[in-house]
Amino acid sequence: MFFHFILLVASSVTFLCTHYVSSCGSSCTEYPVFTPSALVVKYGDPANVTCVACQKDCSGDASGLEHAVGKVTQNGTTMLWTVDRLIEWGISVMCYHNNDAGDQCCSTLDLSIYQSPESVSISFVNHTEMMFENQQYTLQCSVQNVAPVQSLTVTFYRGNTALGHLQSNSEQKKPVNETFTLNITPRREDNGAQYWCEAKLELGPAGPQPPPVVTSEKLKLTLQPFGGRNGQATWKRGSSRRFIFHFMCLKILFSALM
Ligand SMILES: *[C@@H]1O[C@H](CO)[C@@H](O)[C@H](O)[C@H]1NC(C)=O
Ligand SMILES: *[C@@H]1O[C@H](CO)[C@@H](O)[C@H](O)[C@H]1NC(C)=O
Ligand SMILES: *[C@@H]1O[C@H](CO)[C@@H](O)[C@H](O)[C@H]1NC(C)=O
Ligand SMILES: *[C@@H]1O[C@H](CO)[C@@H](O)[C@H](O)[C@H]1NC(C)=O
């Protein structure tokens, strides 16, 4: 019974989807055209786009623009969509024209709404006071309130050297907090090195140029000398050898004088 219900729901969804797609296409010879073709808007900013629903064999009253927010000014088959402040995530704007065969020919605006990271910070996972060379540690870069996280690239740096680029698997359109990690194995020469991370929103050619970038503070690595006591012992042995050498010289000198 339950299985049948699922089947019914699944087939209705499939029907609705295919129906929607076919109603958006089968006998269409042309599709509405948006200008600009893609819109990248900062959250809270104004936006506008023009749609020409049809350019040949058109009747003006058979066109329209579906919009959840903003307003539309129509002149024949040309429509201007404007919004004073875009403060809705994941909205869609669809422009259509009904042709003589009764089909709806439509295009959906390629719209992305973005928000630069509010803050970016770097730390060591399970930070311990003592850090040693040739041990593995995990660096963590936390990015807060960024959208869309899909367009985000996080880069870890040691000084000016990029250590790795990371991206999110999330398809969330609304702002998210996300943490990226990178394992490092510091060497002796990394003592005192500064680690930091950079969050860059790459929104394509329609997006802001240069892309928004937010960087973390710098984290200084302080390594404890590994097996410090052995180091001291080596130094002592060396110095005592030098002492013996000096003593031998003196002895030779004295015996030469005598
Ligand atoms: C439409 O947007 C463009 C680019 O943001 C802007 O320069 C223009 O003034 C806007 N036009 C209207 C009518 O809002
Ligand atoms: C509508 O478009 C026509 C042709 O492009 C133009 O002549 C007319 O002034 C426009 N009307 C309005 C109200 O913008
Ligand atoms: C950090 O420490 C906690 C508790 O000691 C442990 O449960 C967790 O797995 C550690 N995380 C990493 C990434 O090592
Ligand atoms: C992200 O983190 C901040 C501060 O911890 C918090 O206020 C905010 O609600 C978080 N946002 C999400 C989407 O989890």
User: Tens-digit pLDDT profile for the chain (258 aa)?
Assistant: 444 544 444 444 433 333 343 346 777 888 999 999 999 999 999 999 999 999 887 876 789 999 989 999 999 899 999 999 999 998 999 999 998 888 889 999 999 999 999 999 999 998 767 888 999 999 999 999 999 999 999 999 999 999 999 999 999 999 999 999 999 999 999 999 999 999 999 999 999 999 999 999 999 998 887 554 443 323 333 334 444 344 444 454 445 555
Give the closest residue (by CA) to ligand 4 atom 3.
144
Which atom belonging to ligand 4 lies closest to the Cα atom of 177?
1
- Ligand 4, CB cutoff 6 Å, lining residues: 144-145, 175-177
Enter the pTM of the model: 0.75
Eight-class DSSP state of 213? E
Which atom belonging to ligand 3 lies closest to the Cα atom of 126?
1
Query: Are 25-113 and 119-220 in the same CATH fold?
Result: yes
β-strands 110-114, 38-42 pairing: parallel
Which atom belonging to ligand 1 lies closest to the Cα atom of 49?
1
Best CATH choice for the domain 25-113 from the list 2.60.40.10, 3.10.20.90, 3.10.110.10, 3.30.300.30 = 2.60.40.10
38-55 CB burial, b ≥16 within 10 A, e <16: ebbbbbeeebebebbbbe
d(CA 96, CA 52): 9
Whole-number Å distance, alpha carbon 147 to ligand 4 midpoint, is 13
Nearest ligand (C-alpha, residue 127): 3
Enumerate the domain spans of the chain.
25-113, 119-220
d(CA 119, CA 109): 30
Residue 20 confidence (pLDDT):
40
Instruction: Indicate the class that CATH gives domain 119-220.
Output: mainly beta
Which atom belonging to ligand 1 lies closest to the Cα atom of 82?
14
Whole-number Å distance, alpha carbon 80 to ligand 2 midpoint, is 12
Whether 128 is in the pocket of ligand 2, judged by its Cβ within 6 Å, is no
d(CA 101, CA 26): 10
